[in-house]
Amino acid sequence: MSHSIRYPQPLKRGDRLAVTAPSSGVDHTLHPLLDEAKSRMEGLGFAVVEGEALRSNVKCVSASKETRAEELQRLLTDDEIRAVIPPWGGEFLMELLPLLDWERLRQSPPKWIHGYSDISTLTFAYTLATGYASSHGPNYIDLRAPEWDPVTARWLDVLGTPAGGSVRQRSSALYQAEWNFAKPGFQLDTPTTWTVLGHEGDAAHTERASGRLLGGCLDTISRLAGTPYAPVEAFVRQTCADTGVLWYLESCEMNAAELYRSLWQLRQCGWFAGAAGVLFGRPAGYSPTKDFELTDALEAVFGDLNIPVVYGADIGHVPPQLTLVNGAMAELKAEQGGGELTMTFR
């Protein structure tokens, strides 16, 4: 019998949001971005609680690993805090994992942790270790815009969905080809195309997949393989035996060869046993390795599993992005260059 996922209380206006930096903090030159985001959240009716080390950054981190871990632990076990939303990702969140009191976190009520990039190191480990849902989506700095595009805006709907409820999201019409912090919000300028591996050029092809969502930033979660903080096989066996896993993955700074090496390693570690499908985001900082492309890597790792693989999806470092919940049941439909994903919190 599968273990069930537990979901945090739905996020609602008036709730207290904690903004802490468990990975990189925010240098003083970028404090206006924090101020804009805080103003936006308060304008929506949320009470914002800022962590003590949020507004500093030295050697890629906001503070010592001990300070960051203590603050994160305190916020995750504070009954007055409804969600923990870091400003952005970073580089070294993994060093907090051995310092957290996981047994205490399992005894505390589930709480939304929301973000992406290095934050998925935390959300991935949190869901695997506790059985609590967590959220991969636009980070706090991304949310400072006075108006959100339709895809980004759904983060509130997702985190506001109660246990047993469902929420549907659709692919974007356009994405932002190059990162730009100069203006709040995204400058969407390039047509979005979701593509089914092996059916490139077939506009009439439709692909469907379903399973429990699990995933994150490949650059960081792949480093957890073989550690106590990524019990993927046990989680799949205990929680996904009847459903399979719908993996979602994205990358930042990986070329095609490194993508293949990372995905190959994870398959050898047993991560993709029982996979029901793969949704791969638009890769950031990507380049082919000579004539070896992303599609070659995906085909080499997943081609003989006979599962749907969709790439170019709205996930990760090339905005906008869907808000995806680790542990949620999901139904994916990809067709004619786009797609939709329906999540059910059961």
Note whether 195 and 332 are same-domain residues: yes
Amino acid (1-letter code) at residue 214: L
User: Is residue 190 in some structural domain?
Assistant: yes
- Per-residue pLDDT tens listing for the chain (346 residues): 457 999 999 999 999 999 999 999 999 999 999 999 999 999 999 999 999 989 999 999 999 999 999 999 999 999 999 999 999 999 999 999 999 999 999 999 999 999 999 999 999 999 999 999 999 999 999 999 999 999 999 999 999 999 999 999 999 999 999 887 777 889 999 999 999 999 998 888 999 999 999 999 999 999 999 999 999 999 999 999 999 999 999 999 999 999 999 999 999 999 999 999 999 999 999 999 999 999 999 999 999 999 999 999 999 999 999 999 999 999 999 998 999 999 999 9
6 within some domain: no
Residue 212 shares a structural domain with residue 331: yes
Final residue in a domain of this structure, among 109, 133, 163: 163
φ/ψ (deg, to 5) at 107: -90, -10
Shared-domain flag, residues 159 and 204? no
d(CA 340, CA 346): 19
Both 193 and 319 in one domain: the answer is yes
Of the three residues 163, 187, 210, the one that is the final residue of a domain is: 163
- 140 and 217 housed in the same domain: no
pLDDT in tens, 276-294: 999 999 999 999 999 999 9
Instruction: Give the domain CATH number at 314.
Output: 3.50.30.60
Query: What gap in Å lies between CA 153 and CA 179, rounded to an integer?
Result: 19
In 131-249, which ranges are continuous DSSP H helix?
A: 154-159, 218-221, 232-239
The answer to whether position 132 is within a domain reads yes
7 located within any domain: no
Its domain, for residue 136, covers 16-163
Residues 156 and 212 in one domain: no
Q: For residue 19, give both structure tokens.
A: 């903004």
Instruction: Tell whether 3 is covered by a domain.
Output: no
pLDDT digits (tens, 9 = 90+) for 226-278: 999 999 999 999 999 999 999 999 999 999 999 999 999 999 999 999 999 99
157 and 180 in a single domain? The answer is no
* CA distance linking residue 283 with residue 314, whole number of Å: 10
Q: How many domains does the chain have?
A: 2
**309-313: strand order across its sheet:** 166-170, 338-344, 329-335, 206-217, 245-250, 275-281, 309-313, 195-196
- Are residues 100 and 200 both part of a single domain? no
Q: Which among 106, 130, 163 is the end of a domain?
A: 163
- Domain identity same for 143 and 214: no
Three-state SS for 96-132 is: HHHHCCHHHHHHCCCCEEEECCCHHHHHHHHHHHHCE
Amino acid, single-letter form, for residue 346: R
The answer on 199 and 120 residing in a single domain is no
219 and 248 fall within a common domain: yes
Encoded tokens for 186 = 């995204």
Residues 121 and 219 in one domain: no
Q: Where are the alpha helices (DSSP H) in the chain?
A: 31-43, 65-76, 102-107, 119-130, 154-159, 218-221, 232-239, 256-268, 294-302
Establish if 216 belongs to a structural domain. Answer: yes
Task: Please report whether residue 5 resides in a domain.
Answer: no
- The CATH number that applies at residue 127 is 3.40.50.10740
How far is the C-alpha of 244 from the C-alpha of 307, rounded, in Å? Answer: 11
Q: Which two tokens stand for residue 96?
A: 């907090």
In a domain, 189, yes or no: yes
